[in-house]
Structure 1
Amino acid sequence: MQVLLIASEVFPYSRTGGLADVMAALPEALVRLGLEVTVLSPWWQSLHGHPKEVWRGSVVQEGRLLPGPVRVGQISEAGVKYLFLCTPEFDRPGLYAENDVERFLDWGRRVLPTLASMGLTFDLLHGHDWAAGMVLAHARQAGLKSVYTVHNLQYQGRWNMAEAARWSGLPTALLEEAEFYGDLNLMKAGLVFSDHVTTVSPTYAVEITTPEYGEGLQGVLQARLAQGALSGILNGLDLERWNPASDPDIRPMTARSGKGANVAALRAEFKLDDAPILSAVTRLVSQKGIDLLVEALPDVTLAWNVVVLGSGDPLLEAALKGWAQHPRVRYVGGMNEGLAHRLYAGSDAFAMPSRFEPCGLSQMISMRYGTLPVVRETGGLVDSVPEDVGFRFAGATAVDLSASLRLARAEWNDKTAWNARVQRGMALDFSWEASARQYAEVYHSVLEG
């Protein structure tokens, strides 16, 4: 089976979040199952790595020459072929920008003609999140089978329908199937034009069919569920990248040794006292609930040291900078890969008070590194954090978070109970193999009609 995976970013070549991590691990797991896998992503000007240019030319769509040449670069790694398509709108510094929907509309209409010009064909297309939605609209028109994965329903890619129709090159009647309050919605395009929709955890697949989590698209998702065309597949974890026994950024660690050395090193690095360390590595956005942690800090800092790594909402950044004057609070802005690894390994607990969480990888990483997650009961956090390992709470409030952290702090005093949780967490299997098999089953069912 020849499968083309389409996404806006893929680690280590481009990354802003968890989508890139999935696109690094899932293709390799599919290859190990015997599939032929190609990944297609934009050729960002700031791309890490040096693709070899394998094609350059102009693109003709429906007999019309599209403006500007395109380039395709290639990198092959671990049996996966990575293709990077550069259109005129992507030949500029940085990654995402204000005109992203326009850019991905143009990029999406060039994908199939470019692949055809290169002589490439695939049995099935697998698009990821809103940036791939336009490609699946063109695939539907071309009669190609496709699967679509929702990583985060909140980000939908909306643009004025009249402008979108001018840019897309698709019939108005087809585009209107992806209409959303007068706009073209690229997330909806992926939902309605694909043959099967998946999302990144079983619980989130149920949640998004409700008004609370459906982001206005719950009706479409309810229809796909009724058709038997919506399912949830829990993301896996790249166990080579996140291996505490061989991670070069930390002291080597196993379920039996090394945790204490990492905690001591982190305590020394940030000049913290003897209280347990609670960390968060996150985007500072409403979804992640870090405002709840900030609100709870007067109570939390009575029993915990707190270290937060991340950036996002300027108000949250400012609040954390202010709290960083407290002897038990540290805040580091931006993203620092090495520090993230040290926080996972050197903390006692990890905070994820998410308002919603499609899957989440941080809770899996923290458990693998012997750090117990304190999580809200939502989405993939429910599916991945057993109650006998982490600490779960129901309400999206600072009061609920504080109460859960008080329970965790009390248990931290009982080293036997705490260490038993740690060892159960480190023994959990979050490999991609099981998830990849489920995706392969979806692919087969789609191709078999």
Structure 2
Amino acid sequence: MRNFLFVSAENDALADCKAGGMADVVRDIPRQIAATEDQVHVIVPAYNRLHKNGRLITELKFNIRGEETVAELYEVKPKKEFIGIAHYVIHHPEIVEGNIAHIYNDDPEEPFFTDTIKYFIFNTAVAQAIKQNIFDNIDVIHLHDWHTALLLFHRKFHQDYAILKQSWFVYSIHNLSLQGIRPLNDNFASLNNFFPEVGYEYEIVKDDRYNDCINLMAVGIRLADEVHTVSPSYMQDIMKPSHKPEFIGGESLEEDLKRAFAEGRLHGILNGVNYHNMRVAQKGKLYPNILRQLFKWIQEESKKYKADILANTGEKVVNLIENPPSFVVSSVARMTEQKFYFFKKQPEALKEILTKLEARNGIFILLGTGEPEYEMLMREISYEHPNFIFINGQSEDIIDSIYLESDLYFMPSLFEPCGISQMLAMRNGVLCLVHHTGGLIDTIDTGKNGFSFKGENITDTIANMVASFDSCMDVYFEDRVKWNKMRRKAKAVRFSWENSIKEYYSKLYTY
């Protein structure tokens, strides 16, 4: 029996510990590993809240900024119990709750400042827990994105944590565009301020664009035993240089990635989704679920934009109950450049789509939170267009209903490492319209189980997006036989974790 440790910033096996698709992966893969009768431990930060109903295991004492500090390790209960999986959180006063999904912080003046502080502390606490053998001799340590890469720094350079050399390290890239870049010196959230006693090789930690900075994503790629991207096409994309905004590639790390590929350390394995033990929405509850959640939000003191929630979104949804639409389009995503750059670049394109929808008694439901300028744009457009329902929040009940009751799921991502939303929609037989990029290439077969668009440049791509949207509606309203055939094919596709985990064992867990 092998013993695994998953280290991540998110874990959707726990309540209120999700900001994006990485949380789904960290929830699902341990379940597949446990099904093989191997043992899995999963650990995330507590963010000053997730430990409160947990069981204190031990205190962890370690040095940061030249002095001793103390963190606490708690075992916590997941949303669903599985034999062979244990879940933990690290509590420390400086591992704070963020303003993005109560996890990450948005520091516009100093990107990654607050997050670097909390993940520096989190990683060091995890290293100390391993040193104290809390998890009973770990064979494989699986890290996720830049938030956990400091463990590889500790393995390579920190003499207190030489024990980490006894484990096999896998590093998964979920989003290469977020790299955890911070100064080496002269900053509170700098590497040398937190670990003044650790000598390291500059060439291994440096950012190739900012020579006075550490790049934690680069550290993960350079030092892991195996490196993993969440789809084969995304792996190919990131070994090429970026040409923004037309193409998002390696983001300055393409040479490191090509080197890892040449060494046989880089692998592209498509994420999966659950087809068993999943939350199932009840048909016909989309609008009631939205209204129920809206009323909850307006009672929360911290909830922003209550006037928008009640007088704009709520009023529209009440009207939909009495006057149901003929065509429902939806998106569930973070309000970021990655997900909605095309709308921000050319809002007229979204307005044109909404006008075309209105002519056919169609609506567009968009659910998500994120960057303020994207949220503001969507709120403004929602006031202009009665058939645009912008739900500025997160709700599992609404999301499950959206995946079940939409006619078309829309993913206009600028780039997409894998994408889980399209798989969840397809699982219910909902057809998707996606940008032909990254993992969306690996999951949507255009004209057979979904629709896609692309272009030679941004203007061309946006024009093709609008045209493709027209084509989708034409098929739905004018060729329902073809539409239903495509729906059956979409529902029949299986992106199973069972298949993915076989590749994990054969390519990643090969120590």
> Is the contact made by 1:234 and 1:380 (CA closer than 8 Å) also made in structure 2?
yes
1:299 matched to which residue of 2?
352
Mapping 1:193-212, distance limit 5 Å: 193-212=223-242
Give the gaps of 5 or more residues in structure 2: 108-113, 243-248, 291-315
1:404 is aligned to 2:472: no
- The SS at the match of 1:152 is coil
Partner of 2:481: 416
Q: Which one of 83, 87, 112 corresponds to residue 88 of structure 2? A: 83
1:59–1:65 contact (8 Å) kept in structure 2: no
Contact 1:203 1:379 in 2 (8 A): yes
CA distance in 2, matches of 1:44, 1:215: 29
Q: Contact between 1:139 and 1:146, CA under 8 Å: does it hold in 2? A: no
Question: By how many angstroms is 1:377 displaced?
Answer: 0.7
State the TM-score, normalized to the length of structure 1. Answer: 0.89
Task: Describe how 1:157-168 pairs up with structure 2 within 5 A.
Answer: 157-162=180-185, 163-168=190-195
Which of 101, 105, 113 does residue 116 from structure 2 map onto?
A: 101
Identity across aligned pairs (percent)? 28
Q: 1:264 to 1:122 in 2, by over 3 A?
A: closer
1:310 to 1:294, Cα distance in 2 relative to 1, 3 A = farther
Structure 2 CA distance for partners of 1:90 and 1:341, relative to 1, 3 Å = same
Q: Give the residue type in structure 2 aligned to 1:95.
A: I
Cα offsets for 1:173-230 (capped at 9, x unmatched)? 3354020022111111111110110010000011001112111111111111111111
Letter in 2 for 1:324: S
CA positional deviation for 1:48: 7.7
Match of 1:136 among 133, 137, 152: 152
Query: For the residues of structure 1 that align with 2:363 and 2:262, how far apart are their CA atoms?
Result: 48
Q: Distance in 2 between matches of 1:239 and 1:345?
A: 14
1:54 is the counterpart of 2:60: no
- The reply on whether 1:126 has 2:133 as its aligned counterpart is no
Structure 1 unaligned regions, length at least 5: 252-260
Structure 1 residue 92 displacement after superposition: 6.0
Instruction: Name the stretch that deviates more: 321-330 or 416-425.
Output: 321-330
| Stretch deviating more after TM superposition (115-124 or 149-158) | 115-124
What is the one-letter code of the residue matched to 2:91?
A: C
CA distance in 1, matches of 2:86, 2:196: 28
Deviations 1:215-257 (A, max 9, x none): 11111111111111111111111334645xxx1x322xxxxxx
Letter in 1 for 2:485: A
Q: CA deviation at 1:91?
A: 5.8
Tell me, in whole angstroms, the C-alpha distance in 2 between the residues paired with 1:295 and 1:418: 28
Tell me the secondary structure at the aligned position of residue 352 of structure 2: helix
Q: Secondary structure of 1:363's partner?
A: helix
Q: For the Cα contact (< 8 Å) 1:270–1:330, is it kept in 2?
A: no
Partner of 1:190: 220
Q: State the shift of 1:16 in Å.
A: 1.2
Any conservation in 1 of the 2:234–2:418 contact (CA below 8 Å)? yes
Amino acid at match of 1:210: K
Q: Distance in 1 between matches of 2:503 and 2:196?
A: 34
Q: Secondary structure at the match of 2:330?
A: strand
* 1:418 CA drift (Å): 0.6
CA shift for structure 1 position 59: 2.9
Query: Contact 2:94 / 2:118 at 8 angstroms: preserved in 1?
Result: yes
Q: 5 Å matches for 1:282-297?
A: 282-289=333-340, 291-292=342-343, 294-297=347-350
Letter in 1 for 2:103: L
Aligned counterparts of 2:29 and 2:175: Cα–Cα separation in 1: 17
What's the CA shift for 1:273? Answer: 5.3
Deviation (angstroms), 1:152:
0.2
Give the structure 1 partner of residue 399 of structure 2. 340
| 8 Å Cα contact 2:48-2:93 kept in structure 1 | no
Q: Could you say what the CA RMSD is over the residues aligned between the two structures, in angstroms?
A: 2.5
One-letter code aligned to 2:153: A
Distance, in Å, in 1 between the alignment partners of 2:449 and 2:373 is 33
Match of 1:150 in 2: 173
Name 1:29's counterpart in structure 2.
32
After superposition, the Cα gap between the structure-2 partners of 1:83 and 1:175, relative to the gap in structure 1 and judged at 3 Å, is: farther
How far does residue 52 in structure 1 lie from its aligned partner after superposition? Answer: 1.1
Moved more, 113-122 or 420-429: 113-122
Pick which of 10-19 and 318-327 moved more: 318-327
**Residue 379 of structure 1: which of 435, 438, 452 is its match?**
438
Q: Which residue of structure 2 lines up, in the alignment, with residue 174 of structure 1?
A: 201
CA displacement, residues 390-433 of structure 1 (integer Å, 9 cap, x when unaligned)? 10111353211111111111110211111111111111112211
State whether residues 39 and 82 of structure 1, in contact with CA within 8 Å, keep that contact through their aligned partners in structure 2. yes
Report the Cα distance in structure 2 between the residues aligned to 1:40 and 1:319, rounded to whole angstroms.
36
Determine if the alignment matches structure 1 residue 40 to structure 2 residue 43: yes
Report whether the alignment pairs 1:391 with 2:391.
no
Deviation at 1:138, TM superposition (A): 1.6
Give the distance between the partners of 1:26 and 1:231, measured in 2 at CA.
Answer: 16
SS of 1:345's partner is: helix
1:276 is matched with which residue: 286, 305, 327?
Answer: 327
Q: Residues 242 and 236 of structure 1: is their aligned pair in 2 closer, same or farther, counting only changes over 3 Å?
A: same
Alignment CA distance shift 1:417-1:242 (3 Å): farther
CA contact (8 A) 1:242 1:365 kept: no
Q: Choose 409-418 or 79-88, whichever is displaced more.
A: 79-88
**Match for 1:250: what amino acid?**
Q
List, as ranges, runs of 4+ consecutive aligned residues in structure 1 with deviation greater than 6 Å: 262-268
Cα distance change on mapping 1:275 and 1:230 into 2, 3 Å? same
For the structure 1 residues 90 and 269, does the alpha-carbon distance in structure 2 shift closer, same or farther, using more than 3 Å as the test? same
Shift of 1:111: 1.9
For residue 18 of structure 1, what is the aligned residue in structure 2?
Answer: 21
Corresponding residue SS for 1:351: strand
Which moves more between the two structures, 346-355 or 139-148? 139-148
Report how far residue 37 of structure 1 moved. 1.1
After TM superposition, the structure 1 stretch with the greater mean CA deviation from structure 2, 304-313 or 268-277, is: 268-277
Compute the displacement of 1:264 (Å): 9.2
Deviations along 1:125-181, whole A, 9 cap, x unmatched? Answer: 111000110012223343232110000001111111123023136744335402002
Q: 2:282 aligns with which of 250, 259, 263?
A: 250
| Secondary structure of the corresponding residue to residue 197 of structure 1 | strand
Query: What secondary structure sits across from 2:141 in the alignment?
Result: strand
Structure 1 CA distance for aligned equivalents of residues 128 and 287 of structure 2: 56
Counterparts of 1:323 and 1:444 in 2: how far apart (Å)?
A: 48
Q: Tell me the equivalent position of 1:115.
A: 130
Sort the Cα spacing of 1:270 and 1:323 in 2 relative to 1 into closer, same or farther, 3 A: farther
Residue-by-residue CA offset, 1:249-301 (whole Å, 9 max, x unaligned): 322xxxxxxxxx57898997561654311111111111113543843233312
Q: Contact (CA 8 Å) 2:44, 2:88: kept in 1 or not? A: yes
Q: Is contact 2:66–2:194 with CA below 8 Å preserved after alignment? A: no
Shift in alpha-carbon separation, 1:319–1:113, aligned structure 2, 3 A: closer
Name the count of aligned residue pairs. Answer: 431
